[in-house]
Amino acid sequence: MVTKASELIGDVKIGGSLGCSDHALVEFTVLRDMGQAKSKVRTWSFRKENFQLFKELVSRTPWETALRDKGAEQSWQIFKDIFHRTQELSIPKCKKSGKQGKRLEWLS
């Protein structure tokens, strides 16, 4: 275990050597701070999506003007930026629950 925070390690015991080598057995306890801040992971809430709004925003984008005289890489970046902005506006985010998150209904 490698850490700079010595308060995370406790009850260090150095045992005997491991066979004929010069290595030694080290036992220790990893301490956890139960007061750690909760993770604020947010994920898309497709149950509350507004795909109609998404469709309208994408169709209102002047694609020919936006992509005119652009190379493939620059066009892809423009498309991604517009897609992500549209996604932010039409699909809300919700707090992820649990370590694994919720299972999708169609997988249940």
Other beta carbons within 10 angstroms of residue 71's beta carbon come to 9
For 28-77, what is each residue's pLDDT tens digit? 787 776 555 566 777 777 777 888 888 898 899 999 998 999 999 999 99
How many Cβ atoms sit within 10 Å of the Cβ of residue 66?
A: 13
pTM (whole model) above 0.75: no
Does residue 64 contact residue 27 with C-beta atoms inside 8 Å? no
pLDDT above 50 for 107: no
| Cβ atoms 53, 89 nearer than 8 A | yes
Q: Which residue pairs, CB below 8 angstroms and at least 24 apart, start in 99-108? A: 101/43
Nearest to 98 by CA among 37, 41, 36, 31: 41
